Amino acid sequence: MSSSDTATLLIHCPDQPGLVHAVTGFIFAHQGNILDLEQHIDPPENLFFMRVEWAVENFTLAKDDIAAAFAPLGEKYRMGWTLHFSSERKRVALFVSKESHCLYDLLSRHEAGELPVEIPVVVSNHEHLRPAAERFGIPFHCFPMSPATKAVQERAQIDLLREHAVDTVVLARYMQILSEDLIREFPNQILNIHHSFLPAFVGAKPYHQAYERGVKIIGATSHYVTAALDEGPIIHQDVMRVTHEDSVADLVRLGKDLEKTVLSKALWWHVRDKVLVYHNKTVVFS
């Protein structure tokens, strides 16, 4: 991870010859030095995906002019594309309930400089983790939820997120199902951690389900949140081995390590603009 500023283009479009040449030509024409380039072709869909990152230093286009300069190329090849700068850190809101492990994991990574993001706010439906957030100097907002208040509270949450200019929401073991309104406000920008290897054990109490089924591995999955519960595009998954010796309580305890590493890794890729979503899947340029 270079400390100096970089520009990143994330591109997808119908595949055809000359795409890499055209994009690198744009960068080369303005004396950009490519630091990382990855492309992927999905032959069944005839789709082209690309991520290219170059140094802003010495680039002959001003940062504010790059998008306009690239637009004609994007149009010519019917590209969907986004432009990102490493110096413009994502602003991440952490949503939690009562479990502290993912929250502490992310806050301590952030404090150690491992996660290049801003964390302007921690949101919860309980007061429980207020001390944890405040210990790390992050404002904590509690929105108690009941069926009667949920719609109003979620509207207030959205307002809070907008006020803090949040662009990424991380559900760090937040035990509420988001309404479609909130999801629609942050398309492919809400990361969840589900404590199973999806698509196995969707819904509530996956460790109990795993114990009942007698599986020999447990897992965790981080995915973007969509309207279909636990069915959004998967970013990252991992598993660990368990045995007949492990009770449900053991699975819960052991699984926390998976949840922490899977969520933080997915977030790492997200904030470094490594993830492209299409057809309910992800391309992760890791």
Q: In this complex, which beta carbon is closest to a copy of itself, that of residue 227 or of residue 249?
A: 249
Give the interface size with a copy of itself as a residue count (CB under 8 A). 73
Q: Is 230 a catalytic residue?
A: yes
Tell me how far, at minimum, the Cβ of 147 lies from a copy of itself, in Å. Answer: 29
Tell me how far, at minimum, the Cβ of 278 lies from a copy of itself, in Å. Answer: 10
Q: In this complex, which beta carbon is closest to a copy of itself, that of residue 190 or of residue 258?
A: 258
Tell me how far, at minimum, the Cβ of 24 lies from a copy of itself, in Å. Answer: 4
Q: What is the largest CA-CA distance in the chain?
A: 63
Is 140 a binding residue for a copy of itself by CB under 8 A? The answer is no
Nearest to 242 by CA among 220, 265, 264: 220
- Determine the interface stretch with a copy of itself among 30-38, 66-74, 83-91, 162-170 (rule: CB under 8 A): 30-38
| Contact mark string toward a copy of itself, 209..248, x via CB under 8 A | ----xxxxx-x-------------xxxxxxx-x-xxx-x-
Q: In this complex, which beta carbon is closest to a copy of itself, that of residue 186 or of residue 285?
A: 285
CB 99 within 8 A of CB 93: no
CA 89/CA 123 separation, integer angstroms: 20
CA 248/CA 271 separation, integer angstroms: 34
Q: Of residues 25, 144, 187, 203, which one binds a copy of itself by CB under 8 A?
A: 25
Q: Give the pair of three-digit tokens for residue 160.
A: 């809070």
Q: In this complex, which beta carbon is closest to a copy of itself, that of residue 182 or of residue 210?
A: 210
| Contact mark string toward a copy of itself, 79..118, x via CB under 8 A | --------------------xxx--xx--xx-xx-x----
Is 18 a binding residue for a copy of itself by CB under 8 A? The answer is yes
| Contact mark string toward a copy of itself, 174..213, x via CB under 8 A | -----------------------xxxxx-----------x
Is 33 a binding residue for a copy of itself by CB under 8 A? The answer is yes
Is 37 a binding residue for a copy of itself by CB under 8 A? The answer is yes
Q: In this complex, which beta carbon is closest to a copy of itself, that of residue 124 or of residue 282?
A: 282
Per annotation, catalytic residue among 15, 105, 181, 230: 230
Q: Would you please indicate which residues are annotated as catalytic (active-site) residues? A: 230
